Amino acid sequence: MKEIFALIFEHTKDRIVRRSERGTERPDFMSHWLRNNKDGKETSQSEIEENAMTIIVAGSETTASLLLAVSHHVMMNPEMLRGVSEEVRTAFPLSRRLIVPPWNSSAT
């Protein structure tokens, strides 16, 4: 588990650096972290990383719970499963298009 957490943390730090370097015209939550806080003190890199990890962990648990509940509901309802399967197969007629690169690939 520690190894997985370390990988996620390294990925998060990499994404923060890339986002910081890129800048943006459109404000987002990172733009608030990257500028000075209300006391006029600069937000430290470690604070930014910790905030990002909190959001990722909190969001992933919520997402995981939702996906689990939806998957269970679909699997318990054969008519719904047929409908979802048909919709996915229509949207992605070639099965190779259903493969998503891993989150840690250089394609992200």
Q: Is residue 64 part of a domain?
A: yes
Q: Is residue 107 part of a domain?
A: no
Whether 54 contacts 12, CB under 8 Å: no
pLDDT in tens, 60-97: 778 888 888 889 999 999 999 999 989 988 888 777 66
What is the length of the chain?
A: 108
Domain with 22 in it: 2-98
Q: Is residue 86 part of a domain?
A: yes
Query: What whole-number distance in Å separates Cα of residue 60 and Cα of residue 5?
Result: 13
Q: Is residue 108 part of a domain?
A: no
Q: Is residue 104 part of a domain?
A: no
Q: Is residue 81 part of a domain?
A: yes
Q: Tell which residue, 105, 107, 108, 89, has the closest CA to residue 97.
A: 89
Q: Is residue 91 part of a domain?
A: yes
Number of domains forming the structure of the chain: 1
Q: Tell which residue, 61, 55, 63, has the closest CA to residue 19.
A: 55
pLDDT in tens, 32-59: 777 765 566 777 888 888 888 888 777 7
Per-chain mean pLDDT for the chain: 79
